[in-house]
Amino acid sequence: MINRYSKFLLVAVLSSVLLKTTYSGDIDKTSCVPGFDQEFKLLHSSESINPCEKFTDRPLLIVNTASHCGYTPQFETLEKVHQMYSDKGLAVIGVPSNDFNQESSTEAKTAEVCRINYGVTFTMLSPQKVKGENAHPVFRYLARESKEPLWNFTKYLVSKERKVTHRFGSHIKPDSKEITDAIETLL
């Protein structure tokens, strides 16, 4: 026979178990780009970040980059966009890739192009695959939601709710009215 105390204890234990299994922590996993909820090594660094934690509730401009491409000077305008909008909430994330055979052979050389040649201060991750079956999960998600990169410097604008709102081709400059208008609608 179960007495009052035993019933109370049973309810307390069950409630505790249910709360532990349904509580998801401080980060709302639904507001994370699939594939981003993991540690990423920063470019030519021993440090890493989890973009879902670092950029919670911020729109993202994710760009696949390359150090030796005709569009490489876009690093300068990506930095300009970063400077214009980071205080308003936008996070610019560069992801180097050699999928189009135009990336430096080492992370040190890639970092030199970004930081020394173009003054990049926005987040640059270590090189990743960005197209095809072996693409990083982030880029598989971006491709599924829009289209995979056809070339270097494809730009994906992702809302706070982690929906891909725009995909801009390589030829569209990061500080173009088309991109800045789209950014401003998300801020």
- Output helix, strand, coil percentages for the chain, rounded to the nearest 5: 40, 15, 45
Mean model confidence pLDDT for the chain: 86
Predicted TM-score (pTM) of the model is 0.83
pLDDT tens, residue by residue, 91-129: 999 999 999 999 999 999 999 999 999 999 999 999 999
Higher pLDDT, 86 or 2: 86
Q: H helices within 23-172, ranges in order?
A: 51-54, 74-85, 107-111, 118, 137-145
Per-residue pLDDT at 153: 98
- Look at residues 170, 97, 168, 92 and name the one whose alpha carbon lies nearest to residue 135: 97
Active site residue 114: no
Q: Which of 81-85, 137-141, 168-172 has the lowest mean pLDDT?
A: 137-141
pLDDT score of 10 more than 50:
no
Through-space distance between the first and last CA atoms of the chain, rounded to whole angstroms: 61
Q: Which of 3-17, 87-101, 170-184 has the lowest mean pLDDT?
A: 3-17
Q: Note the CATH number of domain 31-186.
A: 3.40.30.10
Judge contact between 165 and 158, C-beta under 8 A. yes
Catalytic entry in 32, 52, 69, 114: 69
pLDDT score of 15 more than 60:
no
Per-residue pLDDT at 9: 39
Domain residue extents for the chain: 31-186
44 torsion bin: left (phi>0), alpha (psi -120 to 50), beta (else): left
pLDDT score of 16 more than 60:
no
C-alpha span between 135 and 7 (Å, rounded): 53
| Strand segments (E) across 27-178 | 40-41, 48-49, 60-65, 91-96, 123-124, 155-158, 164-168
